[in-house]
Chains A and B, each alone.
Chain A
Amino acid sequence: MKINNSYTEGIAKLEVNGLPDHSLGHDTNTIGIILNWRCTLVGHSILEGKKEHLSNLIYAINLYSRYCITGNHSNVSDKTNSVFISKHKDGHELTFISSKKEIEPLSIILDDAEISDFILCIDQFVVDKRVKIEWIIHDKIKFSSKRKIIGKKIKINLINLFTAFALILGFSLIYMKIPMPILEETQEEQKPFSQRTSSNN
């Protein structure tokens, strides 16, 4: 039996149609297979597509929200580059690129309140226990700080390597500049060894 779930937050309304996956033992209220979905952004546009499109949208939105909360408004896109989100002077620009060549890319500009609605609407769907689908959410918990730490570590390692090399080079140069003590050679020492021994005898 077809299941229809809907999630609403402000201007955003997400409707998902699906079926339970009986092979995985889902009950009649659980969605295991997504047939189609439709997201209405009141005053903007209606988005719809297949499971893959929804998965790409969830990935991009989640990543962007994590950037936004840290104040880092980086441009975000999914792995297939079908969803692209960037900061715009009037808010946030979402660009959806269709897999069909004849369809022009759709661009929407949302302000802070509208993008929050959209993010929270997607969140409602992601955390819904009635949907048993694993979504790809990159580094779900520690995304922002981990990224920065990794970057810093690489930087620190390079700095350490460079410092060590510079120190070795510096010390070598200083050592080379130090004048060696000149030993006065006696006449005896200047003679070849064979002659020295014979003269002794």
Chain B
Amino acid sequence: MYNKDNSLTSNSKGVSQYKYSLTEFCGIQTSKGRRAIEKLDLLLLTIEALDINAPISLTSISRSLELDHIFPNHVEIWKSRCHNPMRKSSRNAPINRESFDALLFLLSTMSQRFYPQIRQLLSSKDSKTLYEKRWSEFCYRFDDLISERMNIRRGAVKKYLTRSKQSRIFYKNLLFVLALSSGKEGLSRLRASIFEPLPNSSFK
């Protein structure tokens, strides 16, 4: 199991060492919590759009972080992510705190692994043609994943799909959040901000 400093401890029974305030802990089952799981799932989807093999990496990283008791296989990760109400096949039951914490930890580790790709997209100092090529590939893959996984009949998803065609700000914000979430301090930042809405998001 992991604690606040990302170090793994084997003696705990799977309860995170990180302390949420009472309102935030209760928030996992409320609208604030729903927003958090939406944000978390969307950030994981962004990583999937960066690399086609990200779902496989997710399972292997989960194993290397000794999260086997929470996510023994990729289906369990998928089931936890399905608590996102924006998904086509969403689960109504609230996500438990242990899985939520583990997903946060996974996201932070994944963003650290994919930091070079995230950086490439955020950097405005590369050659224009290369920059445009990378962005068009990423946007295409991300929109494709949104259409495939999310319930496009929902107003928020529809709104996003139309907005994303007009501007890249939403993508950039997602990538910037991912960049700042990597590493040990990044995990602390991510935990502090996960209950806040995404900047310029239509998923509110």
Contact = CB atoms under 8 A, between A and B. Distances in A.
B183 A71 contact: no
A125 B122 CA distance: 23
Contacts of B9: none
A112 B189 contact: no
Interface stretch (A16-24, A62-70, A165-173): A62-70
Given A116-B180, A124-B183, A66 B189 contact: yes
Interface in A54-80: 62, 65-66, 68-72
Interface string B3-44: 001000000000000000101100000000000000000000
Interface string A94-114: 000000000000000001111
B123 A69 contact: no
B113 to A, nearest CB: 13
B200 interface: yes
Interface stretch (B46-54, B90-98, B134-142, B190-198): B190-198
Contacts of B122: 111-113, 116
Most A Cβ at <10 Å: residue of B173, B181, B188, B190? B188
A120 B200 CA distance: 24
B78 interface: no
Interface in A124-175: 124, 126-127, 140-145, 148-149
B24 A112 contact: no
Contact of B123 (A62, A66, A111): A111
A113 B173 CA distance: 12
A117 B119 CA distance: 8
Interface residues of A, number: 31
Nearest to B121: A113
Most buried by A among B24, B198, B199: B199
Interface in B158-197: 172-173, 175-177, 179-186, 188-193, 195-197
B192 A66 contact: yes
A22 to B, nearest CB: 26
B124 interface: yes
A68 B180 contact: yes
Contact of B119 (A10, A72, A142): A10
A170 B123 CA distance: 60
A149 B23 contact: yes
Contacts of A140: 188
Nearest to B183: A123
A145 B123 contact: no
Contacts of A120: 115, 179, 182-183, 186
A69 B195 contact: no
A116 B176 contact: yes
B185 A126 contact: yes
A3 interface: no
Given A116-B122, A144-B196, 13 more contacts: A62-B185, A65-B185, A66-B189, A69-B177, A69-B192, A111-B123, A112-B172, A114-B123, A120-B115, A120-B183, A127-B185, A144-B193, A145-B196
